[in-house]
Amino acid sequence: MFGAEFIVNIIEAAGYLGVFAIIFVETGLPVGFFLPGDSLLFAAGVLASQGYLNVWAAALIIFIAAVLGDSTGYLLGLKTGPKLFSREDSFFFHKRHLTEAHDFYQKYGSLTIIAARFMPVIRTFAPIVAGIGKMEYKKFLLFNVVGGLLWTILFVFAGYFLTAIFPGIENYLSVIVILIVFISFIPPAYQFFKERRKAGQNPR
């Protein structure tokens, strides 16, 4: 897991280009599932409040990267199809992540594209599953844009305004990042244990 200091160092060193690259890969390619998402957005907002970034430029770049990333994931799923489900596990790819996203998509349908924005790992694989399922692209793009906008606004501006409201909060960024990661993993963890419990109650 990436610590706050590491995330801040990346943003300060690589700037807008680094933020764009991380968000694009994290939302668009299977190898990006382990990259920071929510915590990076929040940290970008905090740094913007301190003058390292322009908050509007950062939000726009993150939004564009998120939308392009999801669209790339969709096209990847559309082109590769079910072949991904038969691919062997590796350090950068775990089939169970794809299966979890598939199950989530089967249950919640198109809204998955919006909800997945706030769920690590599933955020990476949901667009791929949508492509595999050949979801209508116009419909996918609408949910992609709405989800990307909500995700960007919530986390970037939360970091920006909370720093202004509570001076010195940046000193507790490590704690906040850990809290964000913990909270963001609650929905997928809940879903996972719910499905495990259901499977235990209905053995084949």
**pLDDT tens sequence across 34-46:** 888 888 999 899 9
Share of the chain above pLDDT 90, in %: 32
Total domains in the fold of the chain: 1
pLDDT at 157: 95
pLDDT tier, 4 (very low <50, low <70, confident <90, very high otherwise): low
Per-residue pLDDT for 203 more than 60?
no
- HEC states along the chain? CCCHHHHHHHHHHHHHHHHHHHHHHHHHCHHHCCCCCHHHHHHHHHHHHCCCCCHHHHHHHHHHHHHHHHHHHHHHHHHHHHHHHHCCCECCECHHHHHHHHHHHHHHHHHHHHHHHHCCCHHHHHHHHHHHCCCCHHHHHHHHHHHHHHHHHHHHHHHHHHHHHCCCHHHHHHHHHHHHHHHHCHHHHHHHHHHHHHHHHCCC
pLDDT tier, 22 (very low <50, low <70, confident <90, very high otherwise): very high
**pLDDT tens sequence across 128-154:** 888 888 888 999 999 999 999 999 999
**pLDDT tens sequence across 51-69:** 889 999 999 999 999 999 9
**pLDDT tens sequence across 148-199:** 999 999 999 999 998 888 877 767 676 777 777 666 666 655 655 665 566 5
Q: Domain limits at 146?
A: 4-201
